[in-house]
Structure 1
Amino acid sequence: MSFWDIIWYIIVSFAFIAYLMLLFSIIGDLFRDEKASGWVKAIWVVFLIFVPFLTALVYLIVNGDKMTKRSVRAAQHAKDQQDAYIRQVAGKSPAEHIADAKALLDNGTITEAEFQALKAKALA
């Protein structure tokens, strides 16, 4: 195997992997699209199987901007869910616990001794 055969193999492998990534991206976007009917999705998939390069190019031209918007919306939704989970798991800071205890003390719900105990527990 010569040097140029190896270089050609690397280029072809890169192009094939790039095409597979594009194909999976298109198929993922097809199933993420809520507005398209099942028949439309099935037709796109059939054309992706039988005329793959032309269909991928047409899909990118027709749905490229919508594809980007759906991807950004999905990423933002995942980020919002992750942030909400982190806030839920992390709990409150010691300052927030002390502020809550102070509000209870000011309302007369707890005594000064209970406030001091809650404050000590928050700072521990």
Structure 2
Amino acid sequence: MNGTVDLAYSYPVLGTFLTVLWVFLWIVWLIVLFRVVVDIFRDDTMGGGAKAGWMIFVILLPFLGVFVYLVARGRGMGAREVQQARAQKQEVDDYIRATARGDGASQVDELARLAEMHDKGGLSDAEFARAKEKILH
């Protein structure tokens, strides 16, 4: 032996730890890279040319491109993400309200309209009962 000892191979647990560490760092790097790419496309303040420039920079020189992007535009990434989350929540809430209401009218509004039609003679008693049953079920 030449006198040098490689600790990672002398102690298999250390080698396993270093492998897990590298895999973890690789996964973290991919997450950061994809978050930057998503933020580039999410940002409405940048024009198409700026987005294309950032994408070329991030693709050709990924480590440098991501770190420069984080320094230059990283402060607004969180704000843009919060803004998108709020917009999504608002859309979901609007959809739930519209669906729960049914075609823009509540049961009470439908029943009031039916009663008015019945009172004016537009509906017979049997038609009114069927329509009311349909609305309530």
Structures share a fold, TM > 0.5?
A: yes
In structure 1, the residue matched to 2:136 is: 123
Q: Does structure 1 residue 65 correspond to structure 2 residue 78? A: no
**TM-score normalised by L of structure 2:** 0.66
Gaps of 5+ in 1: none
**How far is 1:9 from its partner?**
1.1
| Count of residues in Structure 1 that have an aligned counterpart in Structure 2 | 121
Matched ranges for 1:66-81 at <5 A: 66-81=76-91
Match of 2:115 in 1: 105
- Give the superposition deviation at 1:59: 1.7
Distance in 2 of aligned mates of 1:10 and 1:86: 44
Identity of aligned residues (%): 31
More helix by share: 1
Letter in 1 for 2:46: A
Pair 1:70–1:76, CA change in 2 (3 A): same
TM-superposed CA distance for 1:90, in Å, is 4.6
1:34 equivalent in alignment to 2:44: yes
Structure 1 residues 121 and 14: CA distance shift in structure 2, 3 A: same
CA distance change for structure 1 residues 99 and 4 in 2, over 3 Å: closer, same or farther?
A: same
Give TM-score, length-normalised by structure 1. 0.71
Q: Are the structure 2 counterparts of residues 106 and 4 from structure 1 closer, same or farther at C-alpha, using a change threshold of 3 Å? A: same
| Corresponding residue of 2:4 | none
Whether 1:55 aligns to 2:65 is: yes
CA distance, structure 2, for counterparts of residue 11 and residue 17 of structure 1: 10
